[in-house]
Amino acid sequence: MSSQHDIIQFVLNDKVVSVDFNANPELKPTTTVLNYLRSFPFHKGVKEGCAEGDCGACSVVIAENNEGKLSYKTIDSCLVFLPMIHGKQLITIENLADSGKLHPVQQEMVNHNGSQCGYCTPGVVMSLFGLYKNHHNPDREVIEDALTGNLCRCTGYQSIIKAAEHACSCVDADKFKLHEAKIVTLLSEINQDKSTVEINTPTQNYYKPLTLQDTLALRRKYPLATLISGASDTALRQTKKREFLNEILDISDVAELKYFVEDEKDFKIGAGLTLERLKLHSSEKLPALNKMLQIFGSLQIRNLATIGGNIGSASPIGDTLPLLIAYKAKVKLQSADSERLMPFSDFITGYRTTDIRYDELITAVHIPKLQADTFVHSYKVSKRKDLDISTVSGGFSVQLEDGHVKEIILAFGGMADQPKRAAETEHYLMWKPWTRANAEHAMKILLHEFTPLSDARSGSEYRKLVAANLLLKFYAETSTPGL
């Protein structure tokens, strides 16, 4: 296993930038892109508002070489460690104008008075730039989704939406399109070396493999290293909890982990597939998952977060976890010399603990295709619709036979120290007619099945009531399929 030592490269200001961490001791491998940019006098447009991916003031766009074309993603730079942008183009607000001429998204923000106090404006503009590069004449829903991760405290959203509509009606003929071939060439030259990026400083060791084989070898060699893929969760340990991460294994650029395929029985999802890509793939094939992902974080978060990372966090309020239980998903775990496929319902063993072994990685999730007369739904209750943590979430499935319950799974998040099934309620409903009377009786059982915590988001009794009401909602939506 060969390595690239202590240096990363990326494109900024249309030039290849090399960062040597040992020659620049003020930089650490876990220095965020946000803090790196703000160390320069001419990249102050990126702002820190929350340092946890909520406000979008730090939004930037990265471009990657995708088979000779550039693909653009808006991300929160406060959550991204510098080595994560190795082999990519980094685009900031300062890069948009062309010889003094504003980019179309900037010009339309001016035309529609989309900027007020100005603090959030660079992040908003970068979100509009990402929208501009990915959508022509998007509908309002797509525009609003692109802006969900940008909080404007001056309440200027309508003007911003109008600016987006007009900018994205233009033909994509900006300077980035004109210079695309040049940037593709620069990125290709950086990425032709597939050896592991290894950064060793006096205080931190950072390993960034580019192949699955190297990843599994490093996992065995450094079993205590903190694993990151999108780092949308792990980065908060540094930015909010002030933890020092002394050893990191970054698997964010292992292409072999980024796929969505299907066979006769299963949908197979690579653990490194971002939640935004999964959202696009699941639109028709896994509608309950797609529904949940529509309100998962923001576009900036979904462009970073991965399905493997969401599973590996084993959070009791992880949005996708109850649903994966309802889908009867399986988790593929691999080491350098073995692999196993286990039910996801057995994978999480307690509060943020899992059955993964010291030398294993989550490499895939398999979701079985639904049998006839089986319905799966997902639910999330939170204080606000977008960019919020669940108070209670649910992933439910029911298989009916002649109007009777042949199989049922009622999995909840936010009700215990881990995503958990309502076993007593399920037992009561088995083989009974799927009727409102039986659903209402099951609600009474469910009210006493969990003892959730009271915290800043909700009281225990409220959570119980919400869980019971979600069961009734599930009955209403499946007793009249398509409602």
H or E segment to which residue 219 belongs: helix 212-221
Torsions phi, psi of 279, nearest 5?
A: -60, -45
Q: At residue 196, what are phi and psi to the nearest 5 degrees?
A: -65, 135
Q: What is the pLDDT of residues 205-216, one digit of tens each?
A: 999 999 999 999
Phi then psi for residue 469, to 5 deg, are -65, -35
Closest CA to 27 of 48, 8, 50, 47: 8
- Is the pLDDT at 37 greater than 50? The verdict is yes
pTM here is: 0.95
Is the pLDDT score of 481 beyond 60?
A: no
Mean pLDDT score, 314-325: 96
User: In this predicted model, what pLDDT tens digit does every residue of 441-470 receive, in sequence order?
Assistant: 999 999 999 999 999 889 999 999 999 999
Handedness of CA 277, 239, 17, 120 (dihedral sign): positive
Residue 100 DSSP SS3: coil
- Report whether 63 contacts 183 (CB < 8 A): yes
What is the spatial distance between Cα 176 and Cα 174, in angstroms, rounded to a whole number? 5
460: left (phi over 0), alpha (psi -120 to 50) or beta: alpha
Per-residue pLDDT band for 483 (boundaries 50, 70, 90) equals very low
pLDDT given for residue 329 in this prediction = 98
% of the chain with per-residue pLDDT over 70:
99
- Give the model's confidence band at 139: pLDDT under 50 very low, under 70 low, under 90 confident, else very high: very high
Q: What is the mean pLDDT of residues 105-127?
A: 94
Q: Which three-class secondary structure state does DSSP give residue 157? A: helix
Strands 69-76 and 260-262, how do they pair?
Answer: unpaired
**CB environment 456-470: b (16+ within 10 A), e (fewer):** ebbeeeebbbbbbeb
Contact 338, 216 (CB under 8 A): no
Token pair 């020092």 is found at: 244
pLDDT higher than threshold 90 for residue 384: no
Q: Which amino acid is at 245?
A: L
Residue 175, SS3?
helix
69 phi and psi angles, rounded to 5 deg: -125, 150
Residue carrying the six token digits 């942008």: 85
Whether the predicted pLDDT of 482 surpasses 70: no
pLDDT at position 333 over 80: yes
Lowest mean pLDDT among 17-21, 385-389, 452-456: 385-389
Q: How confident is the model at residue 385 (pLDDT cuts 50, 70, 90)?
A: confident
User: What is residue 152's predicted lDDT score, i.e. its pLDDT?
Assistant: 85
* pLDDT at position 188 over 80: yes
Place of tokens 């088979």: 67
Residue ranges and CATH numbers for the domains of the chain are 3-94+179-250 (3.10.20.30), 99-173 (1.10.150.120), 255-368 (3.30.465.10), 380-479 (3.30.390.50)
Alpha-carbon distance 268 to 377, whole Å?
20
On the question of pLDDT at 353 being above 60, the answer is: yes
Q: What is the pLDDT of residue 87?
A: 98
pLDDT given for residue 153 in this prediction: 78
Q: Are 53 and 297 in contact (CB under 8 A)?
A: yes
